[in-house]
Structure 1
Amino acid sequence: MDFQLKTLSLTQAATEKADALIVLAASPGDEATGPLASLLALAREADDLPAKAGKLLQLYRPEGVTAPRVVLVSAGDGTPASVRTAVSAGVQAVKAANPKRVVMVFAQPVDAAGLRQAMQAAADATYVYTTTKPKADARTVRQLVLGVPDAASLETAFRDSSATVAGIEFAKEWGNRPANHCTPSLLGEAAKALAEFPRIKCEVLGPKDVAKLGMGSFAAVAQGSEEPLRFIVLHYHGAAKSDAPVVLVGKGITFDTGGVSLKPAAEMDEMKFDMCGAASVLGVFRALAECKPAINVVGLIPSCENMNDGAALKPGDVVTSMSGQTIEVLNTDAEGRLILCDALSYAKRFEPAAVIDIATLTGACVVALGGVRSGLFSTDDKLAAALEAAGEQSLDRCWRLPLDDDYAEGLKSNFADVANIAGRAGGAITAAKFLQRFASDYAWAHLDIAGTAWKSGAAKGSTGRPVGLLMNYLINRAAPASEAPAAAAPAAPRKRKPR
């Protein structure tokens, strides 16, 4: 979508040319004079516009307003969460008319957090997947003008939010692709395409490279598939070379049958989403390319399929990881941790400031937290607090779970240094305890996104999470010297390139 940021009052918005006009009004309101202010006052007086966020009133060709369709939407108390609800409702209301240009004006001042949520909600409401559905209706809203009291003061927030939306949509598109259109090789090509942007470099390693590195655990998962594995290494250089990078590690299982420990047939199609951790890393790099924060970031994506053939990994097999630790594979459906552990060992070479792995790792995390919050585990309180704060800021929330050593008892093995699963109890935690063994040399956090990476049912599809959380974390961490866009006159539109 083509977003524009423009200084607009309610009075000015009434004369804006658009197919539809959405007015976001927090309560209580102190609107100025003019046709839109009068409409808001009348609607409230008649109780036709309740104060609850998302409640709306649709009007057609009201007097004094240029746009033929006007939607008055309550933004509740004006908090970012309320703004997000309001924008989602407003955009859904105008979509049926297939508007090409929509103006959305804030009746009250809006801060950076509110603008960010408005843009992300609008993008979510208008996103259409088309990669393997070419006849699907394209996104109808081509241009969204965000009218705010002072555009100049929100320039940086607009730039960063535009970038984040681009990253979320990039992650969604790859997350939604079926497995035959998203093989490890194709994922590698997607990463290489990102290297066309300034400041980004990419290297894609194949089976021979992975064997040479000693990544026996990763290679073992891939051996049951005809699709060759790929180990993707991305670099974003936004700060001095001497600045230690943040390393993001994304689980890239492009399809997960469970291997010999076969999954039930029902909903197995959704195992194409098992690479959403990898998709989120790609999405972050797409966003970094656009907002250019002053920070160094490395992305690591171990990618393969977990399939069955005569060479497939078997329960009871013992594999040797890159770290030298041996692993008894008691369940081949606990394969994500087997590929991540080698990537975590590889991360050490960058002498990182922090390492964050992102993975659709356990059904146990879905049971614990549902689809609302991602599970957070960390050995570093400062890193955990920063990720929690970023989650709250972005409304892409997480919840920290424990890493007590007692949880590792079930991972003991008579035949290897560690088993790849423990019992059913505390499954999300024992999975994190397994990964912790390979991340002892740096500040580390693990995000289990099994419940938040995609939705099932009628709304089936990738959510693009946790790109929003990660981008907020990286932007917060970046030095103040982040590249800023050139200044422009407040009344002039601020554009981002159409997608």
Structure 2
Amino acid sequence: MDFELKTLGPAEAAAQKCDAVVAVLAEGFKGGGDPLSRLADEARKAGDFEGKPGKLLQAYRAAGVAAPRLVLAGAGDGSGKRVQAAVQAAVSSLRSKGVKRLVICLPADAGEDAVRAAVQATAEASYVYVATKSKPEGRELQRVTIGVAQVSNDLRAAFDTARGAANGIELAREMGNLPPNIATPTRLGEEAKKLAKAHGFQCEVLGPKEVEKLGMGSFMAVARGSEQPLRFIVLRYQGAASSEPPVVLVGKGITFDSGGISIKPAGEMDEMKFDMCGAASVLGTFRALADLRPSLNVVGLIPACENLPDGRALKPGDVVTSMGGQTIEVLNTDAEGRLILCDALTYAERFKPRAVVDIATLTGACVIALGAVRSGLFASDDALAADLQRAGDSAFDLCWRMPLDDEYGEGLKTNFADMANVAGRPGGAITAAKFLQRFAGKYPWAHLDIAGTAWKGGAAKGATGRPVGLLVQYLLSQQRQGGAKAAKAPKRKAAAR
């Protein structure tokens, strides 16, 4: 989908030759003499439309409006959050209407947050999964114009960021939604290589032999119950001098999680294909980097494998040795994500990173704590935590900081190894983070538990692409803090899809 940002008021929007116009109107809006504004004023006087949040009014072949379809969308106080809800509802109402060319006219006082919200909401509401359908129908929207009163440099920057993030979110959703017999560890490695080749990144994909040489005993133990060979993916984006320490993103890539010997209940086990959404978010973030080209260095690490039971599978009571030399007693094979992440966190040390952020659908306990609204944020560094929190707020991709008190780690003690892989049920998301923290002591570290936010169940089942928006906003903030010159995109061939 192509987005463009234009100086476009209600009068110009009414004259646009397109399939539909969405007019986003705040409460108390004051229209002019153009046909669109007159219609909105008449609807308000009649009590049919007041600009309240979430309210829509649709018209067909409205007088003086060139587009056959017109949607008035209420945005309440006009904040980014309200604009996001308004645009999402309006675009959703136009699905299956044959709309290919859409104009969205924002309120006259729309700021950067409103522009970001409009792009993000349009992309989210128009996304349709078709990859494994015999009749791939439903992807109609092709071009979207976001209209503002005046295109300023700040609005242009917000628009460009949102457009880049939208492309990354779409890739993350697409990868997350693929069935597990297709989105295997090998496929993740292939997608990473394709991304790198198309956009000038460096990429290395390690197999079982290379991982064994590295001594990643914890990662290998999880993978040995599956016939699918593991992959360890290393992506590198260089937008600053090679001497600049990178931000490292580590994404959990369990492409299917049965629970292993500690097998999960059958109900909704199909959703465990989403257990690689942390990995998908790293790929999606790199897709956004391809568009935005920030002036910093970023490394992406993805340990990818399946967690399945067979005669070779990891058993409760087994003791494994991590890459860092620490031994782990496995009390529950369904707590496997931390077992692959811990080796990736140790591997991250070689980059001497400025910060490391791991992203994982790690615990059901985090879903109980925060639901599907906010991702869980754990951090060893206050400044890093604050930067991530601000980034999430700005990107409408919210997180909430959780504690890491030393006392929470007491439950990981065991008589038979340096630590156990689980503690008791209380504070399960925190004790999982405490486990990871033991492998992240040599750099500022944060952990995002996205078990509640990475996908939706029920009728709306599917990957959300979170937290790509948060990660993109965080990386851009680090670029501004660094004050380096913007990176130039290398010459490259068009990406093959």
Fold-level match, TM-score > 0.5?
Answer: yes
- In the TM superposition, residue 110 of structure 1 has moved relative to its aligned partner by 1.6
C-alpha distance in 1, partners of 2:117/2:463?
18
Aligned to 1:493: none
2:183, 2:470 → 1: CA distance? 24
User: Distance in 2 between the 1:295 and 1:259 partners?
Assistant: 39
Contact persistence 2:226–2:310 (CA under 8 A): yes
Distance 1:191 1:142 in 2: 26
Deviation per residue, 1:285-323 (Å, 9 max, x gap) = 000011111111000000000011111111100000001
- Please state how far the C-alpha of 1:78 moved relative to its aligned partner: 0.5
- Correspondence for 2:227: 226
Which amino acid is the alignment partner of residue 374 of structure 1? S
Deviation of 1:471 (Å) = 0.5
Whether the 8 Å CA contact 2:55–2:74 is kept in 1: the answer is yes
Secondary structure in structure 2 of the residue aligned to 1:472: helix
Q: Aligned partners of 1:190, 1:291: CA distance in 2, in Å?
A: 20
Q: Distance in 1 between matches of 2:113 and 2:242?
A: 31
User: Are 1:49 and 1:56, in contact at CA under 8 Å, matched by a contact in 2?
Assistant: yes
Q: Percent identity at matched positions?
A: 62
Q: Are 1:142 and 2:128 an aligned pair?
A: no
Assess, with a 3 A threshold, how the Cα gap between structure 1 residues 332 and 173 changes in structure 2: closer, same or farther: same
**Equivalent residues in 2 for 1:323-472 (5 A)?**
323-472=324-473
Shift of 1:108: 1.6
Contact kept in structure 2, 1:387 and 1:469, CA below 8 Å: yes
Q: What is the distance in 2 between the residues matched to 1:312 and 1:74?
A: 55
Moved more, 300-309 or 193-202: 193-202
Q: 1:166 to 1:320 in 2, by over 3 A?
A: same
- Pairs within 5 Å for 1:58-97: 58-97=58-97
- Kept after mapping to 2: 8 A contact 1:25/1:108: no
Distance in 1 (CA, whole Å) between partners of 2:169 and 2:199 is 19
Distance 1:484 1:465 in 2: 26
CA distance in 2: counterparts of 1:464 and 1:247, whole angstroms:
19
The amino acid across from 1:408 in the alignment is G
Structure 2: unaligned runs, 5 residues or longer? 490-494
Deviation at 1:378, TM superposition (A): 0.5
Which segment is superposed worse, 151-160 or 225-234? 151-160
Give, in angstroms, the shift of residue 27 of structure 1: 2.0
Alpha-carbon offset, residue 152 of structure 1:
4.3
In the alignment, structure 1 segments of 5+ residues that lack a partner are: 487-496
**C-alpha distance in 2, partners of 1:390/1:24?**
25
Task: Could you list the structure 1 runs, at least 4 aligned residues long, displaced by more than 6 angstroms after superposition.
Answer: none
Structure 2 distance, partners of 1:225, 1:450, is 23
SS in 2 for 1:181: coil
- Describe the SS at the equivalent of 2:328: strand
Counterpart of 2:469, as a letter, is G
Who is 2:51 aligned against?
A: 51
Deviation at 1:273, TM superposition (A): 0.4
Partner of 2:202, secondary structure, is strand
Q: Alignment partner of 2:325: what SS?
A: coil
* Whole-angstrom distance in 1 between the partners of 2:112 and 2:487: 15
Contact 2:316/2:331 (<8 A) preserved? yes
Contact 2:296–2:484 under 8 Å retained in 1: no
Quote the residue 1:30 is aligned against: 30
Scaled by the length of structure 2, what TM-score is found?
Answer: 0.96
8 Å contact kept, 2:256–2:306: yes
Q: For the residues of structure 2 that align with 1:449 and 1:426, how far apart are their CA atoms?
A: 16
Which has the larger displacement, 93-102 or 15-24?
Answer: 93-102
Task: Provide the residue aligned with 1:191 in structure 2.
Answer: 192
CA distance in 2, matches of 1:229, 1:400: 32
Cα distance in 2 for residues equivalent to 1:329 and 1:227 = 22
**Which residue identity lines up with residue 284 of structure 1 in the other structure?**
T
CA shift at 1:115, angstroms? 0.8
Q: Equivalent residue of 1:413, what SS?
A: coil
Q: Which residues in structure 2 correspond to 1:103-114 (within 5 Å)?
A: 103-114=103-114
Q: Distance in 2 between matches of 1:198 and 1:73?
A: 38
Answer yes or no: is the 8 Å Cα contact 1:29–1:108 preserved in 2. no
**CA deviation vs aligned residue, 1:239-288 (integer Å, no higher than 9, x gap):** 11111100000000000111110111111111000000000000000000
| Shift, 1:102, TM fit | 1.0
**Counterparts in 2 of 1:162 and 1:344: CA distance versus 1, 3 Å:** same
Deviates more, 1:32-41 or 1:249-258: 32-41
TM-aligned CA deviation for residue 151 of structure 1: 2.5
Q: Do the aligned partners of 2:239 and 2:487 also contact (CA within 8 Å) in 1?
A: no
